[in-house]
Amino acid sequence: MVDVVLFHHALGLTQGVIAFAADLRAGGHVVHTPDLFAGRTFDTLEQGVQHAREIGFGEIIQRGARAVDGLASELVYVGLSLGVLPAQYLAQTRPGARGAIFLHACLPRSEFGSAWPKALPAQIHAMDADPFFVGDGDIEAAKALAGESADVRLFLYPGDEHLFSDRLLAAYDPAAAAVLQRRLLDFLADR
């Protein structure tokens, strides 16, 4: 059992994110779900991303950092799309991380430091034709990160959906999400 911090996607702390957290809890883990949007949720990615821009991406990261202030340092950070911002920041900069999982997004490692933390295991999951993951350069960042550290694994799934792991969205892909869930739970069990 590990303590997990799950950072939500650009739609906010939706029922789909809460259900995802419940799946991790069912695996025996303690899961914290900070609300980076202070209760706001959105129906479209465009609305959510616009809200994040209004807040500022730096502030999104800092809200994530403040959310873990009172928690032990031995955490696994999980980010869903926009939530990868604070998850990756904390994994790279807060000592004690036990692992990181980036779903649907990945930033260049240089965004938060000169090197990936030694022996920090991580997984990156996305669809191979996701227009955001591929079109915004996340796939290159993910491949580079996996290429520089043997502790980082990239998993690409066939398809073009972005938030395919959220079972309450039209983008949900049950087959890919089931494989992702198994890999994620296996990863957590090894921590």
- pLDDT tens string 70-117: 999 999 999 999 999 999 999 999 999 999 999 999 999 999 998 999
Tell me the whole-structure pTM to 2 decimals: 0.97
Angstrom distance (rounded) from CA 68 to CA 43: 27
Q: What is the DSSP letter of 187?
A: H
Domain extent listing, the chain: 3-189
CATH superfamily of 3-189: Alpha/Beta hydrolase fold, catalytic domain (3.40.50.1820)
Strand order through the sheet with 3-7: 30-32, 3-7, 75-80, 99-103, 122-127, 152-157
117: DSSP letter: P
Mean pLDDT, rounded, for 19-31: 97
What confidence score (pLDDT) does residue 114 get? 87
